[in-house]
Amino acid sequence: MTARPRARTGLALIAASTGIALATAGLGVASSFADDTPEQIVNGSFADGTAPWWTTGNISASAATGQLCALIPGGTTNPWDVIIGQNDVPVIAGNSYTFSFNASSDVAGQAVRAIVQNPDTYATEVDKTVSPGTGLTTFSYSFTAQQDLSTSTKAQVAFQVGGGTSPWTLCLDDISLKGGEAPKPYAPNTGPRVRVNQVGYLPLGVKRATLVTDSTTAMPWQLLNASGTVVAKGTTIPKGTDASAGQNVQLIDFSAYRGSGGGFALQADGETSYAFSIKKDLYSQLRVDSKTFFYTQRSGIAILDSIAPGYARAAGHIGVSPNQGDTTVGCAAASAAVDNWSCDAAFRTDVTGGWYDAGDQGKYVVNGGIAVSQLLGEYERNQLARTGQRKALADGTLRVPETGNKVPDILDEARWELSFLLKMQVPANTTVTGLTDYAGMAFQKVHDAQWTGLPQDPASDPQLRELHRPSTAATLNLAAAAAQGARLFRPYDKAFARTLLTAATTAYAAAKAHPAVYAPGADGTGGGAYDDTNVTDEFYWAAAELYLTTGAKTYQSDVLASPLNTSADIFSTDGFSWQSVAPLGRMDLATVPNHLPGRDKVRASVLKAADTLLAAEATQGYGQPYVPASGHWAWGSNSQILNNLVVLGTAYDISGRTAYKNGVLDGFDYILGRNALNISYVTGFGTYYSQNQHTRIYANELRPTLPHPPAGSLAGGPDSDLQDPTAASLLKGCAAQFCYVDDIQSYSTNEVAINWNSALSWVSSFVADQRLG
């Protein structure tokens, strides 16, 4: 498993479903449409969780029982103060529709305003206020649409339930809007058939593009500068059908051109590519922006507009009402559906700080571990590699509040997460019931008790925050990241370095004492489970980092005794991730100076893996070093590709072989636009880029007053399994590279995540360091 599914479901708050009463009414006469009448609502049965339904931030919805249930707060003034809704519902003027739903309330007499409306003007097609009973009641309304809400502006279906004095629970099910035309097949805008890195190319670097064409014979191409003058030309190289895209493609190689400037374009087969630049400082801004993402994901601190313009917000989860905060968090309640673990109800601890993991506002040690490790590794590489620009990551180079403190800014950012990881460690001398067996280990995660809706500002999140049972994997993530941090902070803060090393050695010993405490796979309410039942790789990684930091024989022995020490199968063209971290240890052993016996074999194994990736990359029409044996692309495929580029970059640092460096540049082109969808997956970079990623904070698509994700944010990328209702409804039968949609509701293809951006950050620094000009 390369990335975790995030089922958007949770335990129902109250599911009142004792019988079904029928209350049928209409804007005329209620009608029953045939089964083949087009359905315009997505996931109205809640069989796939709650997406793409959204809620206002003062409630959270759950669909664990097959209904959507939500606790409606009291004390609001207007019906629209509390809303459950779905956007982008096509309604065509003059067409007939039937809008129906089942609803129940645990308190009789509560008002539910059900509307189908224009979200821009609020002009309604249906506007009915009903009072559901304690058993599910069916409501049905027929109407002929008066507005055309099928193109740029589509209808909103909403249930406005505010205005009550006391809390109550609403459950909804079988929401339907039948009528109109069958939804047109989703057709992405793929732009010109000449696909390029939309950011550009290095003057002395490899420069390749992909032409999509029906032709199977070579064709002429030409490179135009900003003035439209042809500055290079040549002939394409037929590549045949690219299996991941289902397209016949040809390669354009214009590496021989060594000029520089902006506004270049490629022409071939009657098509002109998006414009791009050729310059040696091409990636300096991306190096910065890919790391600023982490600042905007910080928990427990106000985000300042002076540092991240347009992204200012109040500190999240510090316990300022209505937020319950991370300042005094207890253990999750025992649940037979999970593993029946909890701890003394009186236990409370401070777990403020850290980074919000992804689109939700949970904080996970196993994802935080790999993410902070990659930032630390990026800095370490910058200091050790022959091409590392030593000052590029120094103090004053990034946008962080700590800048100017004589500590490299990237380490300041890493410290924010490391300090949080330290707080997640169970005290060694604990006497708390339920935790005594886990002394020295790390809690798996902290997040809301239930899934929150979109949008959701962290400071106004009303949910109870809960700690989840310690796990061996989380403990070893803490050990590895803290050990790595200890050696890098020594020159700047010896006390913090000692604290990190103490935590790392304590965690490693605790993990060895409890080597098989696994996070439950069923623990997916309110946050991802991040379950992992094979921690051999975490033990190897942690031992490697402790050995590199201390040089101690005991850790050296554990590294050498690990079955993963020289095993070639730790690398795969599928890439590595939070659940397969052995490559992190292997690459550090290969590049950080040490005296490990047999280190030459360790270094050779990285080169062998890189050779495999180069061979795979050469077979692909779009040049990405990612060829899953199954043909199915994983959740977070972009991070898998980037992590393979990390392997190639590390091989270049070891050997200096140009082919590995070219492999990184070639593969990075895919991320920045040279792909089947002709989209840059990095917000703010390129002509046409992802900007509606799944995130509760930057939900501009749902609330225009909110920003898009900040520049430098990476979208997860194509996911062949289409693990959310939006992707499933739009992309059924897609070729792998087409299994992506830039929609905030498509969490399986379009989420942001710290471990995805950490891979982007590492690669951005690598390519920025090359400055080939």
Q: Which two tokens stand for residue 363?
A: 């904080």
Which residues fall within 8 angstroms of residue 546, CB to CB, at 6 or more apart? 479, 480, 483, 504, 505, 508, 552, 555
Which strands form 83-89's sheet, in the order they lie side by side? 54-55, 83-89, 155-160, 112-117, 124-130
The pair phi, psi for residue 76, each rounded to 5°, is -90, 165
Residue with tokens 């590549």: 239
Residue keyed to tokens 């304590």: 506
CB 123 within 8 A of CB 147: yes
Tokens 């700047």: give the residue.
Answer: 492
How far apart are the C-alpha atoms of 430 and 437, rounded to whole Å?
9
For residue 264, the one-letter residue type is F
Taking CA atoms, 487 is separated from 371, 376, 484, 548, 690, in Å, by: 17, 10, 6, 8, 37
Residues 6+ apart with CB under 8 A from 595: 551
User: Which of 48, 88, 751, 769 is an active site residue?
Assistant: 751
| Amino acid present at 550 | T
What Rg, from alpha-carbon coordinates, does the chain have? 27
Active-site residue (options: 448, 694, 701, 719): 694
For the chain, report the end-to-end CA distance as a whole number of angstroms: 40
Distances (CA, A) of 757 to 297, 398, 697: 11, 15, 16
| Helix, strand and coil percent figures for the chain, each rounded to 5 | 30, 20, 50
48 is catalytic: no
Q: Which of the residues 538, 742, 743, 769 is marked catalytic? A: 742
478's tokens: 């803490």
Contact 58, 44 (CB under 8 A): no
Told to judge if 360 belongs to the known catalytic residues of this protein, a careful annotator would answer yes
Tokens standing for residue 441? 């280990």
Query: Would you tell me how many other CB atoms lie within 10 Å of the CB of residue 452?
Result: 24
Rounded CA-CA distance 285/226 in Å is: 22
- Coil, helix or strand for 400? coil
Please work out, in degrees rounded to the nearest 5, the angle formed at the alpha carbon of residue 435 by the alpha carbons of 429 and 439: 40
SS3 365: helix
As separate numbers, helices (DSSP H) first and strands (DSSP E) second, the chain gives: 14, 25
Active-site annotation holder among 125, 242, 289, 360: 360
Taking residue 233's Cβ as centre, other Cβ atoms within 10 Å add up to 14
At how many degrees (to 10) do helices 754-770 and 284-296 cross?
160
Crossing angle of helices 582-591 and 536-550, rounded to 10°: 30
The answer to whether 138 and 23 are in contact (CB under 8 A) is: yes
Residue whose tokens read 């990476």: 714
Q: What is the distance of C-alpha 599 from the center of its chain?
A: 35
> Is 751 assigned a catalytic role?
yes
Q: Which DSSP letter does residue 569 get? A: G
Query: Which residues contact residue 581 at a Cβ distance below 8 angstroms, ignoring those fewer than 6 apart?
Result: 369, 370, 477, 480, 537, 538, 541
Q: For residues 633 and 681, give the distance between their C-alpha atoms in angstroms, rounded to a whole number.
A: 15
Whether the Cβ atoms of residue 475 and residue 511 lie closer than 8 Å to each other: yes
Tokens of 162: 């505010």
CB 422 within 8 A of CB 499: yes
- Annotated active-site positions, please? 360, 694, 742, 751
